[in-house]
Each structure stands twice: as C-alpha cells, then as structure tokens.
Amino acid sequence: MQDAITAVINSFDVQGKYLDGAAMDKLNTYFQTGELRVRAATTISANAATIVKEAVAKSLLYSDITRPGGNMYTTRRYAACIRDLDYYLRYSTYAMLAGDPSILDERVLNGLKETYNSLGVPSGATVQAIQAMKEVTASLVGMDAGKEMGVYFDYICSGLS
C-alpha cells in the first residue's frame, strides 16, 4: 500500500530527482488536511454501523433485492451484504487517511468483480448502496471531509463497474 507521501517520493526517486514545486504543493495540501482526515476517521469509526444501516435503508431496503429471489434475501445473504458495505466503508476510511487509493486495489477490488459475478451479486445495486453511503457519510463529517471520502467511494464504484 502507498500513501500520498510515498507516492510522490517514489515517483521522484525513480528519476533520481528532488521534489519539484508542484510535488511540494501536493504534500503541503496533504499535511494541511491531516487534522481534517483524522477527525473524519474518528467520526466515521464511531458511527460505522449507523452509516451502513442508513445507506441500506436509503438504497436497498424494500426493493426486489431484499424479497424472495433477490440477492439479499435470507439473513445469511443480508448479513453478507451489510458486511461488504462495512468493508467498503472501513477501507475507504483507510484510503482517505492515506490520501491514496492503492489499498483499495490491493485489499478490496482485487478479484471482487469476478467473485460478485460468480455469486450473482448485483454490482449496480452495490454501487447504489455505496453512493448512498457516500451521502450519509458526507452529512455526518461535513462537506470537505465528505468530498475526500467520496473520492474513495467512487474509486470502489468504478472498480465494480
């Protein structure tokens, strides 16, 4: 996994160069948003179960997906879906703290689409639920941190599409 700092430094190290002005600006922005990121992660971890629950209520509940024949039908599959959403929330929070999406490629998206396809888990509905989670999270952590979290929720959604 990379973070905003190692990503910049690695790209200059391969060229054997010192960081340039644009790279310094990038790092500066990251350092300046450090407190915002930590505060958002604290709020998210204290409210994770509520965020997931509200996102499900907004997007999936009482749809065909939760009825017989739907992929969330039966408590086992319902629980698997809630667990998946909690994975997406937790790993997006890690990525937001790191300021880099590489952890999502390595730990979440690697082989996920194939797994979903083979189990008949609908990616479209999953994307809807992640988008709902993005809205619920933003309303909880505020616009700036919400936007930053949105980057990583969207990253997972494009990986699933």
Ligand X SMILES: CCC1=C(C)/C(=C/C2=NC(=C\c3[nH]c(/C=C4\NC(=O)[C@H](C)[C@H]4CC)c(C)c3CCC(=O)O)/C(CCC(=O)O)=C2C)NC1=O
Contacts with ligand X by CB under 6 A lie at 60, 65, 71-72, 77, 80-81, 84-85, 87, 107-108, 112, 115, 119, 121-122, 125-126, 129
Taking the complex as a whole, how short is the minimal distance between the CB of residue 79 and ligand X, in angstroms?
A: 8
Residue 33 CB, shortest distance to ligand X, in Å, is: 26
Cβ neighbour number for residue 108 with a 10 Å cutoff: 23
Of 31, 59, 29, 33, give the one whose Cα is nearest residue 134. Answer: 59
Taking the complex as a whole, how short is the minimal distance between the CB of residue 12 and ligand X, in angstroms?
32
| 32 or 75: CB nearest ligand X | 75
CB of 45 to ligand X, least distance (A): 16
Is the Cβ of residue 11 or residue 117 nearer to ligand X in the bound state?
117
C-alpha angle with apex 56: 87 to 118, nearest 5 degrees?
Answer: 60
Closest to ligand X by CB, 84 vs 100, is 84
Q: Which among 33, 44, 47 has a CA at the least distance from the CA of 144?
A: 33
CB 14 within 8 A of CB 111: no
Query: Are the C-beta atoms of 112 and 84 separated by less than 8 Å?
Result: no
Nearer to ligand X, 53 or 77 (CB): 77
